[in-house]
Amino acid sequence: MRVLFTGAGGQVGQDFRDVLSGIIPSGGSATALMGSKEVTPGEFEVFGIDHASLDVSDASAVQGTIEHIHPDVIVHLAAYTAVDKAEEDKEGAYVVNAIGTRNVAQSAERVGAHMVYVSTDYVFAGDKGRALVESDETNPLGVYGATKLAGEQECPPSASIARTAWVAGVRGKNLFHLAAAVGQDGRELRFVDDQIGSPTAAADLAAGLVALVRERPAGLFHVAGSGQASWFDAISFAVEAAGGSRSQVSPIATAELDPQPAAVRPACSSLASERLASVGLSPLPEWQDGIGRLVAAIIQESST
């Protein structure tokens, strides 16, 4: 099976390349394949496309690349992910997240490839005070969420849309690198305890995406670390996993942040799935499992 994926230089893309190649990425686990079997090296012909090789907002370049490679499946990971910057660059975010996805979807259709699109919990307002399932109503609070939702709407009905949340990889820029360092050097941190989500290890998401590549289920699926946590919970857990103490982290309210971030985040956008089981797939591991492995891998990589 020929698999082309965009966003190959991003944190999920780098782990996804490993999983497709039959390698468990740093911090990954064979148990994250959502019930799908282990990948054997050579099972997939892998074509990871990074930003330098292809700008997804360039329709003719997208068409040329996809027609040349002629994949069976396209996993569209590339996105404008700067959530706060997007508030003042609405056009830039829209061009990448909506038009870029349209370009990929149209070319996928032209070559008859199945499309997998990765979306976000930020499509929700997060005002229900509970975990959200695929049938819950969307209502993004910010530009990033709105443009990713527009991307969902560009996908054909046959596409697999995987909404994920709070993704962190060993090779990405994310707050768990800070938490791992703080767990080892004893500094103190403050994190908000009134934003709740589903922390997701990039390696686990990458494994879950392989299950979608194999099964090609149509429609929306929530694919995120199981369970829920506030940022305060998740960072305290990570500091402790790195050898520190939970008492190094203090809770604060979002309203106390100074300066206030440009984008408003959902208060409670943890994701649960009512649809994975219907296509024979199981959810990703508990978030503590994924984040525990992530922190151990960050520490191991920083010491080598």
Choose between 3 and 96: whose C-beta lies nearer to ligand NAP. 96
Choose between 48 and 217: whose C-beta lies nearer to ligand NAP. 48
Which residues have CB under 8 Å from 213's CB, separation 6+? Answer: 1, 3, 20, 44, 73, 75, 114, 116
Choose between 266 and 285: whose C-beta lies nearer to ligand NAP. 266
Residue nearest to ligand NAP (CB): 10
Instruction: Verify whether residue 144 is a known catalytic residue.
Output: yes
Q: How far apart are CA 136 and CA 293, in angstroms?
A: 31
Q: How far apart are CA 138 and CA 183, in angstroms?
A: 37
Query: How many C-beta atoms surround the C-beta of residue 102 within 10 A?
Result: 19
Q: In angstroms, give the least distance from the CB of 11 to ligand NAP.
A: 4
Nearest to 121 by CA among 193, 192, 224, 33: 224
- For residues 159 and 218, the answer to whether their CB atoms sit within 8 Å is yes
- For residues 98 and 92, the answer to whether their CB atoms sit within 8 Å is no
Note the residues at the interface with ligand NAP (CB under 6 A): 6-7, 9-13, 51, 54-57, 77-81, 96, 100, 118, 120, 148, 164-167, 172
Which among 80, 94, 122, 144 is annotated as catalytic?
144
Tokens 């993704």 map to which residue? 167
Choose between 154 and 248: whose C-beta lies nearer to ligand NAP. 154
The residues assigned a catalytic role are: 144
